[in-house]
């Protein structure tokens, strides 16, 4: 049976594009410069999701901007070498677009960097709106970015679903009144995301088509 959902909002990193290794590598590079020998790979996993200002602000409020600049310089320099695609994403987006779904991206990334990833993975044609860190006062899990995306798409929360790999995405969707879907390929592990009780858990992006009654 076809659902009443006509709008799908996606997180970008770790959901649509595989930036996990890029982000981990960038954090390790930056933290090694400021805190040599203090951080290993597993220590930076909790930093995937929150904004850079949140993460670095909790470490050293006086050096936040400096650390953010260091992070961004390395991230941009290594971006195209390290970003990969997730299986099933492009094919699913293609079908959703053909079926007339309104599609948007809601990310805590800066707009210019988000567009870099979207363009690299050739996802540009699928999305009607991209809401980024610099478009809102409050980022996910606050509902503001979701409301902003829905407004631009002329959609209502009850007709929408938020899809993401992090608890910020699930809680933002719940706070905004949309349906929510977690992705089982989250680097933090399926069980971690399941604790936040998304309405659905996707094993592959194509599971969306089944949920929406398109398969």
CA 26 to chain centre: 17
The reply to whether CATH 1.10.150 applies to domain 20-82 is yes
Could you state, in order of their start, the residue ranges of all structural domains in the chain?
7-18+84-211, 20-82
Cα angle 69, 70, 73; round to 5: 80
Q: Which CATH superfamily is domain 7-18+84-211 in?
A: HAD superfamily/HAD-like (3.40.50.1000)
On the 0-12 / 13-18 / 19+ scale of CB atoms within 10 A, 40 is exposed
- Residue 18 banded pLDDT, cuts 50, 70, 90: very high
The verdict on whether 80 is a catalytic residue reads no
Model confidence over 160-202: pLDDT tens digits? 999 999 999 999 999 999 999 999 999 989 999 999 999 999 9
- Taking CA atoms, 46 is separated from 124, 130, 191, 192, in Å, by 29, 24, 15, 11
For residue 141, cis peptide bond before it (omega within 30 degrees of 0): yes
Model confidence over 91-137: pLDDT tens digits? 999 999 999 999 999 999 999 999 999 999 999 999 999 999 999 99
- Residue 1 banded pLDDT, cuts 50, 70, 90: low
Q: Are 107 and 133 in contact (CB under 8 A)?
A: yes
Q: Are 50 and 108 in contact (CB under 8 A)?
A: yes
DSSP 99: T
- Residue 3 banded pLDDT, cuts 50, 70, 90: confident
Q: Which of 11, 165, 169, 207 is catalytic?
A: 11
């Amino acid at each position: 049976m076809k659902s009443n959902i006509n709008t799908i909002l996606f997180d970008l990193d770790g959901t649509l594009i595989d930036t996990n290794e890029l982000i981990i590598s960038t954090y390790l590079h930056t933290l090694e410069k400021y805190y040599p020998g203090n951080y290993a790979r597993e220590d930076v996993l909790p930093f995937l999701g929150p904004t850079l200002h949140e993460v670095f602000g909790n470490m050293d409020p006086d050096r936040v901007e400096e650390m953010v600049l260091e992070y961004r310089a390395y991230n941009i320099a290594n971006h195209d070498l390290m970003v990969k695609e997730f299986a099933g994403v492009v094919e699913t987006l293609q079908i959703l677009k053909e079926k007339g779904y309104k599609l948007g991206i809601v990310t805590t990334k800066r707009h210019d960097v988000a567009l870099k990833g979207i363009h690299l993975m050739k996802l540009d044609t699928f999305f009607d709106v991209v809401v980024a860190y610099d478009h809102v006062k409050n980022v996910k899990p606050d509902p503001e970015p979701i409301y902003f995306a829905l407004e631009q798409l002329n959609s209502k929360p009850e007709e929408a679903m938020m899809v993401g790999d992090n608890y910020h995405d699930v809680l933002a969707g719940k706070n905004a009144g949309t349906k929510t879907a977690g992705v089982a390929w989250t680097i933090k592990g399926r069980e971690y995301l399941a604790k936040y009780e998304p309405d659905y858990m996707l094993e592959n992006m194509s599971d969306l088509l089944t949920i929406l009654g398109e398969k």
